[in-house]
């Protein structure tokens, strides 16, 4: 059990260091912060315009379409930061996986109380000798730690860009208004 805790903490430190590198390379830059702020402001303006029912309908539709175009442009420009961040994460994960595989070479760090499915045996038993598929390799622990750690860190520190929901059809984003519009025609 002690070797599993050591391996898990080692993997956790590596995963956190990957997110720290991404923070220093991308998330703390002024350009990224400006893109994020632009997307948030455009989303707020769009929501305000869509909820406002006063004024000329044709003029309002043009303004809403212009705001959607601005939001889509800002989102697509900001997506380049996310792609770069993903590339750096993948490269660091490869390096860290090599380090984990080297440090815990042929050493099981835990044991399942069951035999995993054939599809998962190659991942859970990677780098270990023998046919005892209930043994857990450190590479599996690293993969599981990196998946969970990235999601938790992104949620806590609000890394990344806000999601743009302009790609959804109107009947999905505001079904009541869509039904009312079609019933009132």
Number of domains in the chain: 1
In a domain, 158, yes or no: yes
Report pLDDT digits (tens) over 103-131: 888 888 888 888 888 888 888 888 788 88
pTM of the model: 0.72
What's the CA gap between 43 and 46, in Å, rounded?
5
138, exposed or middle or buried, with CB in 10 Å at 0-12, 13-18, 19+?
buried
In a domain, 116, yes or no: no
Report pLDDT digits (tens) over 141-169: 888 898 888 888 888 888 877 775 545 66
In a domain, 154, yes or no: yes
Name the helix (H) or strand (E) containing 110: strand 110-111
Average pLDDT on 23-30 reads: 91
In a domain, 29, yes or no: yes
Structural domain of residue 24, as residue ranges?
Answer: 2-107+136-183
89, exposed or middle or buried, with CB in 10 Å at 0-12, 13-18, 19+?
middle
Look at residue 51 in the predicted model and tell me its pLDDT.
82
What's the CA gap between 61 and 137, in Å, rounded?
57
Query: Which tokens in the block code for residue 183?
Result: 């019933």
What's the CA gap between 82 and 173, in Å, rounded?
25
In a domain, 167, yes or no: yes
In a domain, 123, yes or no: no
In a domain, 24, yes or no: yes
In a domain, 146, yes or no: yes
Burial 95-115 (b: 16+ CB within 10 A, else e): ebbeebbeebeeebbbeeeee
């Amino acid at each position: 059990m002690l070797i599993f805790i050591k391996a898990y903490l080692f993997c956790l430190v590596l995963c956190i260091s990957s997110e720290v590198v991404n923070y220093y390379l991308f998330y703390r830059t002024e350009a990224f912060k400006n893109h994020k702020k632009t997307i948030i402001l455009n989303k707020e303006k769009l929501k305000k315009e869509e909820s406002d029912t006063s004024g000329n309908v044709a003029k309002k539709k043009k303004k809403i379409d212009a705001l959607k175009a601005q939001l889509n442009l800002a989102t697509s420009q900001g997506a380049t930061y996310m792609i770069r961040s993903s590339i750096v994460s993948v490269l660091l994960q490869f390096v860290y996986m090599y380090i984990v595989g080297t440090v815990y070479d042929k050493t099981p760090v835990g044991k399942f109380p069951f035999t995993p499915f054939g599809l998962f045996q190659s991942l859970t038993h990677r780098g270990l000798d023998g046919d005892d598929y209930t043994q857990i390799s450190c590479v599996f622990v690293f993969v599981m730690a990196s998946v969970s750690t990235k999601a938790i860190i992104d949620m806590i520190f609000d890394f990344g860009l806000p999601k743009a929901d302009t790609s959804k059809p109107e009947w999905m984003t505001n079904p009541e208004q869509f039904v009312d519009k079609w019933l009132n025609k």
